[in-house]
Structure 1
């Protein structure tokens, strides 16, 4: 079967298979690249189509059953949003039709999902997030344009899959469309529990210092944690959390830097060691469609604190997590104190976490997606009027 997979992806993961570098950074989404590799290992031909801000013309690389295409994308968000990614969508659709696959797997319900719905081959679209929630939390005009794009994508009939019931239930309720649930897969082999240092470290790993990720509440709670545990350290990693970055500037302005380390972005292969040296993982995000980092933290043996109303987060962590009101500074401080003060409970949650994480393997997720794609490849495709 020839599968065209389109979406943002970490291109460096494909370079060993290609035997050559790809002159584009791509995007920090390893899950899509992992699916490309898994589909290849299952014996399928794969055309991977993505975009990049750092290429001026299409880049093409091929080796064996893998073809990789990187299409230019406009760097300015305003330019892309105002015409709903028209240039990018048309280029992706043209490339999909030129590849002539048996089936398409498109990721996210924006430019990639819309481009796939306009292509000739049948497409499975993965609904990775819920745009209304993100727009309300980020309150940025860009996300309202994205919301409109998601509406347009989901109004077009076709196969859908989501990583959690939280997302799938909303698709079914608002769009009256069936939507399968396949949790994201995580490569767990690198996440072996490491004995943390004597100094209790509370780890946080987020993409951006935003209202949605809500790290400010954790920082406001930290002085109370330090009063109960003077040696405790809060370690913040991810974009915006580098020394001197946005998060540290905000923390300094509010006198909240005592006992806090700012690490900044981590390479994927540095994440296991980062988590393995911690005592627990704190995730104050207000909304998650799944939360791969939660699975990674559980695989590293860390109890996890999540929001009780934070989308899919409590369903992902189950008995390995402590679900609280992450908007309440006192509740966050109490939860951290409880887990640092109760070794027996900590140990129980650590064991539960490793058991739960084992359910989210890459192999299981890839096999389930392949089953849907194989069913779809054998089904006839009928275009809607707005796709003609």
Structure 2
């Protein structure tokens, strides 16, 4: 997030990029913001202050799911009551939202996944606990925001009645990271968090093996959790003789990742389902054409139904390989997709477009219009903001 004076004592917390993007967007627009999050690396709760930003960090204990996050919820609630805001935006329908609702303050809960669908695909104790927490939260809350039309469409009808759709967005600084001339490397890329069947990487590796027969010097770069060298994905690739030409790069900073994606000729996004698809959106902004699933949740809409990228049957290694080959063999085709994708992303998913929707919705919930603490142009003239780490999961907006 953006701090005028970043404290050295900022601990590791549960981080989610979209939360930090929204915090930064509100700060740039002159609002005071309170962040409520937690950490398992501190001995006691802490509160960090900046001129217009307060970060409250409560404790996260070991194996919180066994206790239904009882202590975490209580700690978050106490911080919310001690440092209240006019309205709280809680990301995800789990412990953060539950704590915000228990505080009694006006709360908007964001739905970024559908718990029962995840439980069906990954049935274990942890997911079952999360499913039960989700059921409690969606029943208690009055105001829900779905992060896409797809997420909204698979919610039960009684939940949709109190849900509005506000898409995810990319931060305004993202295009500024790109050089004037982007030099494409001889590689394709996937950005994935977690090596599971629903992410589709095993099939993508098989598709790449086929693709490399036509493009023998091409590399496939895998980025994200479980995709480091000698990690889970690498072990799978070696076991099935699919590691040749594949580089396992693991995690990167968000800026490094964006630049690396910008240097790729094609992004493969073989996920079976996406409630939104931030990796795809960032590739669109970066000018890298995407191959995604024609039935993969929100991906068809995000790729403008095939105008901003190629949609195929991502359950077929042959279909993925054929789509990628079409793009690799035709630079003008890639350029056409990339130009449309950038325009489409800017028109529908930019910070300016989406943050305005958030602010209008918060005003509707509160029944009144609030102005920023200071004028945005005055904030900009200060020119003393520096980026800091992502730490937020529950936001409180203070309108003075």
Same fold (TM > 0.5): yes
Selected match of 1:111 from 72, 95, 113: 95
Q: Cα offset for 1:316?
A: 1.1
Q: Is the aligned partner of 1:365 residue 2:365?
A: no
Cα RMSD for the two superposed structures: 1.8
Q: Is the aligned partner of 1:69 residue 2:56?
A: yes
Q: 1:19 to 1:192 in 2, by over 3 A?
A: closer
Selected match of 1:261 from 220, 226, 247: 247
State how 1:213-292 maps to structure 2 within 5 Å.
213-292=199-278
Q: Is the aligned partner of 1:149 residue 2:133?
A: yes
Instruction: State which drifts further: 135-144 or 101-110.
Output: 135-144
Equivalent residue pairs, number: 362
2:325 corresponds to which residue?
337
**Are the counterparts in 1 of residues 190 and 221 from structure 2 also a CA contact under 8 Å?**
yes
**Are the counterparts in 1 of residues 109 and 141 from structure 2 also a CA contact under 8 Å?**
no
2:394 corresponds to which residue?
none
4+ residue segments displaced more than 4 Å: none
Which structure 2 segments of 5+ residues have no match? 369-400
Distance 1:212 1:52 in 2: 29
Distance 1:127 1:233 in 2: 36
Query: Which secondary structure state, in structure 2, belongs to the residue aligned with residue 189 of structure 1?
Result: helix
1:9 corresponds to which residue?
none
Selected match of 1:351 from 334, 339, 354: 339
Distance 1:230 1:174 in 2: 53
Distance 1:28 1:267 in 2: 13
**Are the counterparts in 1 of residues 89 and 108 from structure 2 also a CA contact under 8 Å?**
yes
Q: 1:296 to 1:206 in 2, by over 3 A?
A: same
Distance 2:334 2:29 in 1: 39
**Are the counterparts in 1 of residues 47 and 55 from structure 2 also a CA contact under 8 Å?**
yes
Q: Is the aligned partner of 1:322 residue 2:310?
A: yes
1:385 corresponds to which residue?
none
Distance 1:276 1:255 in 2: 28
Query: Which secondary structure state, in structure 1, belongs to the residue aligned with residue 55 of structure 2?
Result: strand
Q: Cα offset for 1:38?
A: 2.1
Distance 1:350 1:19 in 2: 37
Distance 1:22 1:377 in 2: 35
Q: Which has the higher contact order (CA 8 A, sep 6+)?
A: 2
Q: Cα offset for 1:191?
A: 5.0
**Are the counterparts in 2 of residues 322 and 335 from structure 1 also a CA contact under 8 Å?**
yes
Query: Which secondary structure state, in structure 2, belongs to the residue aligned with residue 240 of structure 1?
Result: coil
Which structure 1 segments of 5+ residues have no match? 1-12, 380-388
Selected match of 1:299 from 285, 293, 299: 285
Q: Is the aligned partner of 1:48 residue 2:35?
A: yes
1:5 corresponds to which residue?
none
Instruction: State which drifts further: 217-226 or 81-90.
Output: 81-90
Q: Cα offset for 1:140?
A: 2.9
State how 1:78-89 maps to structure 2 within 5 Å.
80-89=64-73
**Are the counterparts in 2 of residues 60 and 67 from structure 1 also a CA contact under 8 Å?**
yes
Q: 1:190 to 1:75 in 2, by over 3 A?
A: farther
Distance 1:164 1:304 in 2: 19
Q: Cα offset for 1:288?
A: 1.0
Q: Cα offset for 1:284?
A: 0.6
Q: 1:113 to 1:124 in 2, by over 3 A?
A: same
Distance 2:260 2:170 in 1: 16
